[in-house]
Amino acid sequence: MSPGSTIVRASDKCNPLTVVDMLGPQPDHDLTPVSASLIALAIIGSLSVGTFALRLVQLFADVYVLPGKSVSKFGANKRDFSKASWAVVTGATDGIGREFSLQLAKKGFNILLVSRSPEKLGAVAAEIEVASPGVKTKTQAIDFALGDERQYEGLEHTLKDLNIGVLVNNVGKSHNIPVNFAETAEEEMEDIIEINVLSILRVSRMIIPAMVQRKRGLVLNLGSFAGQVTTPMLATYAGSKAFLAAWSQALGEELRRSNITVSLLNTYFVVSNMSKVRKSSAMIPTPRQYVSQVLKTIGRNGGAVGRPYTSTPWPMHAIVDWATAFILPRAWLLSYTYDQQAAIRKRAIRKAAKAIKSS
């Protein structure tokens, strides 16, 4: 041993435990059940907020930014109507149906008008031919409420040789006034189902097979908020529109592979005879405004975020649709719509009573 060297005994050597102890107390990295739950809740909350924000972005992008499909891809030809495809519009003589007929003609389609009144059909056909020189029009009178086989055979004969690019299933019927289901007249119930469900199935079945063969087509089905937010005192009508929403989604997925676009148009109030609204506003467009917006946004969801083959194209309708789907409680909506329809019924009954007294 050299001079000045230090003797180190075995007992003086530091062991790992002594070093750790010298460093002081160490934090415990094990998660307690409470902290793990808080982290999980934070993750879920972040995902929920992110999803909510994404849906909000989708809403405004679809309504205000992103363009829809060009209607010309479905066979329009404004330069030469002899080469243009046909658009078939049911319920074509009033309101939204009339506007679809006029505006699709201006876009370059020949028009087959289908409705109940021969006189009104002739008047709208003449109006279209004046507004869109060169367009071809055909008319077919049919009362869909009757479900008459001869009338359907006549329609099928008219459709047989037409190159149809667009089908607008616009025909529809609601209750005369809001009414509890238990008090609804059987004839009214049957008419609603015959017009809103069976006629749409039968007309679509006549037209869609040829669209599949041509690998091209557009099918627009006029829906209603009553089919999304189930409406008490309009139970049969609401049920018919809920059917149309489900059927449109199934049909859209079936026809997607054949290059056919299907869209349920989820519609709130529009100025029309059916809605009984006479004054337009930001919330309630005229038929001309509504149809123009539809044709600009084909293939976009608008307010129907997350619902395939469904569109709520009018901006204020879109915002209400989005709110009812993602914010407002369903039980509250049912109660609110019941109170709303009950008030409408009372006003309608008072109005009818006054009319009887004054006559």
Residue in the block written with tokens 């009887």: 356
pLDDT of residue 324: 93
- Spell out the domains of the chain, with CATH numbers in brackets: 76-348 (3.40.50.720)
Task: Read off the tokens for 309.
Answer: 């083959």
pLDDT of residue 26: 52
Residue set of the binding site for substrate: 224
- By the 10 Å C-beta count (0-12 exposed, 13-18 middle, 19+ buried), 170 is classed as buried
**Backbone phi and psi for residue 139, each to the nearest 5 degrees, phi listed first:** -130, 150
Predicted confidence (pLDDT) at residue 59 exceeds the cutoff of 90: no
Mean pLDDT of 214-220: 98
Q: Say if residues 159 and 110 touch (Cβ distance below 8 Å).
A: no
- Which band of pLDDT confidence, cut at 50, 70 and 90, is reported for residue 40? confident
Mean pLDDT computed over every residue of the chain: 90
Single-letter residue type at 241: K
Catalytic residue among 237, 268, 290, 309: 237
pTM metric for this prediction: 0.84
Residue set of the binding site: 224
Mean pLDDT of 49-64: 79
In which element (H, E) is residue 169 found? strand 164-169
pLDDT of residue 31: 61
State the Cα–Cα distance between residues 322 and 130, nearest whole angstrom: 40
Instruction: Tell me, yes or no, if 64 is annotated catalytic.
Output: no
Predicted confidence (pLDDT) at residue 20 exceeds the cutoff of 50: no
Q: Say if residues 104 and 89 touch (Cβ distance below 8 Å).
A: yes
Residue-wise pLDDT tens digits, 74-126: 999 999 999 999 999 999 999 999 999 999 999 999 999 999 999 999 999 99
**Backbone phi and psi for residue 113, each to the nearest 5 degrees, phi listed first:** -95, 125
Mean pLDDT of 340-352: 95
